[in-house]
Amino acid sequence: MRFAGGEVAVGSYEEAGVSIDAGNRAAALMRAAVESTHGPGVVPLPGGFAGLYRLSGYREPVLASTVDGVGTKVLVADELGRYTSLGADIVNHCANDVLATGARPLIFLDYVASGRLIPEVVAGIVSGAAEACRELGVALVGGETAEMPDLYGSALDVVGACLGVCERGELVTGELVRAGDAVLGLASSGLHTNGYTLARRVLADAGVGYGDTWRGLGRTVGEEYLEPHRAYVRQIEALRREVEVRGMAHVTGGGLVENLPRALGGLGARLRAGSWEEPPVFAMIRELGGIPEDEMRRVFNLGVGFCVVVGAAEAGRALKILHGTGCKAWHIGEVVENGGTVEFA
Amino acid sequence: MRFAGGEVAVGSYEEAGVSIDAGNRAAALMRAAVESTHGPGVVPLPGGFAGLYRLSGYREPVLASTVDGVGTKVLVADELGRYTSLGADIVNHCANDVLATGARPLIFLDYVASGRLIPEVVAGIVSGAAEACRELGVALVGGETAEMPDLYGSALDVVGACLGVCERGELVTGELVRAGDAVLGLASSGLHTNGYTLARRVLADAGVGYGDTWRGLGRTVGEEYLEPHRAYVRQIEALRREVEVRGMAHVTGGGLVENLPRALGGLGARLRAGSWEEPPVFAMIRELGGIPEDEMRRVFNLGVGFCVVVGAAEAGRALKILHGTGCKAWHIGEVVENGGTVEFA
């Protein structure tokens, strides 16, 4: 267990191929970064068995919690030897899931497991997570670094858990969504953390390397594939201060097709293909792999990382507020009665 | 993301070796078990992006959170083809960490990753976790099932996150611990979830199989190695209703030597070797591997899974209460001034 205080116990011993010294060195490297995320809510308890956070100022608090991993995006990082952005990936992915319920992300914990603990790699990931937490006002209160040579070989997994809170009345459950409401899409930064098994296979089959480039990318494929998952916390906070948000969806595995209906309280949506900008990485994958559009839509976010549903009359004002936060956003479609499905017009 | 509602999205697709059907089948198998853990605190939100829990009745709530994995105990389960007990392992491990801060475990989330998603295996693990949650009054509000053939091969990882809560004044930080206080040890059920890299290597080097037995075990080595991690939630609740508990330690990786000092507010402890019952599995490992006592003490719990510190005058009454819960417990030593270390007399 690694704690708010910064200790690493790898839970094993040199003789069996597990290095306690390496764990302790990783801990020293990341301690300062982790502590920099601790606002007044964190109760310091060096060596404590769990991270402590004081919740104050809520009348009817509801806790929203989620756990997720970055998936096979780690294999891209591994091949390029660049791990730090995985920290932002997992923090932002988890924070967006919490955000989509109407809660504000408060606390994050990381779990990094590998066959061989390279202190600089783990410290890079955790420091990256700490930086992402700091940007969102989230406290990184604990984590675990596990070294398991027999289980992971040379592989690595990066997992996170995030907890948020809101007043009961601030939950966004989709029950206020009505046919005719506007669906707004917020721009993703690229692949985020989904579809990497397919995205990697397409490259391999086409013989395209991470050092290669592709028209429109403006950088190497490797750099594009490692672009961190974007968080929408500030954008949604700014929006909700002025506009009633009736539904929110984090567009992850399953794409718009599977994730948007989760925000619609049983209704469906009709989206206008081409009403948002699709980043060039998706065209590259579509062309290289000859992937049918149906599958593209079920695997990738295609440029929309997060959706909000607002009353039709509010769409223009909502877009203006989102643009004011520096985020590209588009009016991509409408809520319709076709229960639970997404159509493309 | 798999939710309170029971959905599994494996985040990928048949073509790349990932089976969405298998994921959905696993979800159906575990849904009922997961829902059986949902008391009145859980806010139902089928398809929601995070699990929701209503916190009520606290004046100054402090949240205690932790994340951990079962480590290479999964390799024992894998070899024996018996996975269900891993669910109790991860729930009880995490719950004890939360408990040691003075908080009551409330919420649990699981993360199960594997190279190939076998629905019955995942459902077994999650159902086992749900049963352990139900016994502790913990709500299993979310989880993730990840299938990553390129990353995990045939391996499996089982990770959990647990959140608990208590009033600020109920935190047990070790600051009330005084020299002369009594250290009580609560019986472990065996290896719990630590030291498996060494415990497995010792067997392999000695040519002992999981189907073999050993004097005193009364069952096969495999059954002994899979014995679930014990939770101490009920025991500690019963104790704290009547006795002031000044420090608590969950004895995991690092053994008593590294974990007990974390409960002592900067003081140390002198323990009486032989004052508690050591389960025969530890003698087996010590003998088979020729492991020095120092290493045994730094790797294994040696029979004490959890420690509490109480005033010397309260030791007898505290033991009586613990025994009343059906848990073996012993007065194993005293708090002394030797800052931060544990001595054995």
- The letter for the amino acid at B111 is Y
Cβ <8 Å between B113 and A157 = yes
Same domain, A12 and A151: yes
Query: From the candidates A8, A65, A198, A259, which should be mutated to test the interface with B, based on the most B CB atoms within 10 A?
Result: A65
Co-location of A196 and A258 in the same domain: yes
Confirm whether A176 is domain-assigned: no
Please check whether residues A217 and A186 belong to one and the same domain: yes
C-beta atoms of A254 and B9 within 8 A: yes
B126 and B194 housed in the same domain? no
Rounded distance, CA A46 to CA A200, Å? 42
Residues B114 and B228 in one domain: no
Same domain, B230 and B257: yes
Given a contact cutoff of 8 angstroms between Cβ atoms, the answer to whether A283 and A216 are in contact is yes
Helix/strand/coil for B189: coil
Say how many CA atoms lie within 13 Å of B137 toward its Cβ. Answer: 11
Mark whether B21 and B133 lie in a shared domain. yes
| Closest of A130, A294, A322, A335 to residue A233, by C-alpha | A322
**Residue A175 belongs to some domain of the structure:** no
Domain count, chain B: 2
Q: Is A91 in the same domain as A138?
A: yes
Nearest to A142 among B65, B141, B168 (CB): B65
Residues A244 and A217 in one domain: yes
* R_g of chain B, CA atoms, integer Å: 21
Residue B105's domain is classified under what CATH number? 3.30.1330.10
- Domain for residue A259, yes or no? yes
CB A50 within 8 A of CB B97: yes
Going by C-alpha positions, the residue among A342, A147, A133 that lies closest to residue A257 is A342
The domain boundary residue, chosen from B170, B194, B228 = B170
Residue B126's alpha-carbon distances to A159, B26, B33, in angstroms, are: 17, 9, 8
Strand order of the β-sheet with B139-147 is A42-43, A51-54, B61-69, B156-167, B104-114, B139-147, B2-3
User: Which of A150, A170, A190 is the last residue in one of the domains?
Assistant: A170
A84 with A115, same domain: the answer is yes
* Nearest CA distance, B96 vs chain A (angstrom): 9
Residues A262, B67: C-beta atoms closer than 8 Å: no
When scoring A7, A21, A52 by the number of chain B Cβ atoms within 10 A, the one with the most, hence best to mutate, is A52
Strand bridging mode A104-114 / A139-147: parallel
As to burial, measured by CB atoms within 10 angstroms (0-12 exposed, 13-18 middle, 19+ buried), residue B234 is middle
Judge: B163–A163 Cβ closer than 8 Å, yes or no: yes
CA atoms of B68 and B51, how far apart (whole Å): 19
Which amino acid would we find at residue B191?
L
pLDDT tens by residue, B192-204: 999 999 999 999 9
In a domain, B177, yes or no: no
Residues B146 and B217 in one domain: no
In a domain, B36, yes or no: yes
β-strand partners of A87:
none
The DSSP 8-state label assigned to residue B306 in this structure reads E
What is the ipTM score, two decimals?
Answer: 0.92
Nearest by CB to residue A50, choosing from B10, B12, B101, is: B101
Residue identified by tokens 């109790």 is B88
The domain boundary residue, chosen from A143, A170, A197:
A170
- Please state, rounded to an integer, the average pLDDT across all residues of chain B: 92
DSSP three-state, residue A3: strand
d(Cα A272, Cα A270) in Å, to the nearest integer?
A: 7
> Quick one: which of B312, B214, B169, B195 has its CA closest to B259?
B195
Q: A246: which 2 tokens?
A: 């009736």
In a domain, B175, yes or no: no
Per the structure, the complete domain to which residue B112 belongs is given by 2-170
**pLDDT 10s digits, A308-338:** 999 999 999 999 999 999 999 999 999 999 8
> Is the pLDDT confidence value at B59 over 90?
yes
State the DSSP H helix or E strand holding residue B184, giving kind and residue range, or none if neither: strand B182-187
Q: Is residue B176 part of a domain?
A: no
Per-residue model confidence (pLDDT) at position B2: 46
Which chain A positions have a beta carbon within 8 Å of B63's beta carbon?
52-55, 63, 107, 163
Neighbours of B205 (CB within 10 A): 11
Interchain proximity A67–B155, CB inside 8 Å: no
- What number is the average pLDDT over the span B241-260? 97
**Under-70 pLDDT residues of chain A:** 1-20, 22-23
Whether residue A72 is contained in a domain is answered as yes
**Distance in angstroms (rounded) separating the CA atoms of residues A171 and A162:** 17
pLDDT tens digit sequence for B91-145: 999 999 999 999 999 999 999 998 888 888 999 999 999 999 999 999 999 999 8
Residue A92 shares a structural domain with residue A198: no
User: What CATH number is attached to the domain comprising A240?
Assistant: 3.90.650.10
